Amino acid sequence: MTATPGQQPIVLLLSGPNLELLGQRQPLIYGTSTLSDHVAAATQEASRLGMVLEHLQSDSESVLVEAVHGARTRCAAIVVNGAALTHYGWSLHDALAAYDGPVVELHISNPNLREPWRHTSVLAPVATASIAGLGGHGYPLAVLAAARLLGLDPAPAPAPPVASAE
Ligand code: DQA
């Protein structure tokens, strides 16, 4: 893990092109919550799990690639909503392939239920896990998935007691 003793592990949330328009952009598909709302939910979940969330949004693939390079020695995990880069961003793929920690691919919508060109994810082969189609709920869930992959999630709540047959 990349956190030094005494420091909280960092999870890096990356947001690709056009996601800064969430809240205004195709609300029937992406909902009315803004990117700030999603980042706040992810930050809260990270804090609950003893992690620190950093977020970067860019419309430029090179900025995201450089952020992945910077995460290599600094961040314990990456959550990435690559937006349209998901479908053609091979340099983002290659950067993530060179990253050692868990990578959680995240989508608000379910691209597999949409236009055929969205059915291919070039990030999926370098993602440890993928979450799609859960709307904004996917943001805290992706952070939880990252924590689980890092072994940081506290023990799940015990199952409720089964009613006795007596
Ligand atoms: C998206 C799905 C992509 O196909 C699309 O290009 C996006 C958002 C999602 O979160 O559902 O911009 O990644």
* 99 is known as an active-site residue: no
Q: Is residue 6 part of a domain?
A: no
Mean pLDDT of 57-75: 98
At residue 156, the pLDDT reads: 64
Q: Is residue 138 part of a domain?
A: yes
Long-range contacts at 33-41 (CB < 8 A, ≥ 24 apart): 33/136, 37/136, 38/136, 38/139, 39/13, 39/139, 41/136, 41/139, 41/140
Mean pLDDT of 26-38: 97
Q: Is residue 158 part of a domain?
A: no
Pocket residues for ligand 1 (CB within 6 Å)? 18, 81, 83-84, 86, 107-109, 111, 118
The mean of the pLDDT values for the chain is 94
> Does residue 4 surpass a pLDDT of 60?
no
State the distance from the centre of ligand 1 to the C-alpha of 58, rounded, in angstroms.
Answer: 14
Q: Is residue 165 part of a domain?
A: no
pLDDT digits (tens, 9 = 90+) for 73-83: 999 999 999 99
pLDDT band of 162, cuts 50, 70, 90: confident
Pocket of ligand 1, candidates 57, 64, 109: which has the most ligand atoms within 8 Å of its Cβ, to mutate? 109
At residue 155, the pLDDT reads: 64
CATH number at residue 93: 3.40.50.9100
Number of domains in the chain: 1
Q: Is residue 156 part of a domain?
A: no
* 30 is known as an active-site residue: yes
Q: Is residue 57 part of a domain?
A: yes
State the distance from the centre of ligand 1 to the C-alpha of 160, rounded, in angstroms.
Answer: 37
Q: pTM, whole model, 2 decimals?
A: 0.91
Rounded Cα distance between 87 and 119, Å, is 8
Q: Are 3 and 71 in contact (CB under 8 A)?
A: no
Q: Is residue 10 part of a domain?
A: no
For residue 35, the enclosing domain spans 16-149
Q: Is residue 3 part of a domain?
A: no
Q: Give the number of C-alpha atoms closer than 13 A to the C-alpha of residue 17, restricted to the C-beta side.
A: 12
CA 120 to chain centre: 18
Residue 106 parent element (H or E): strand 103-107
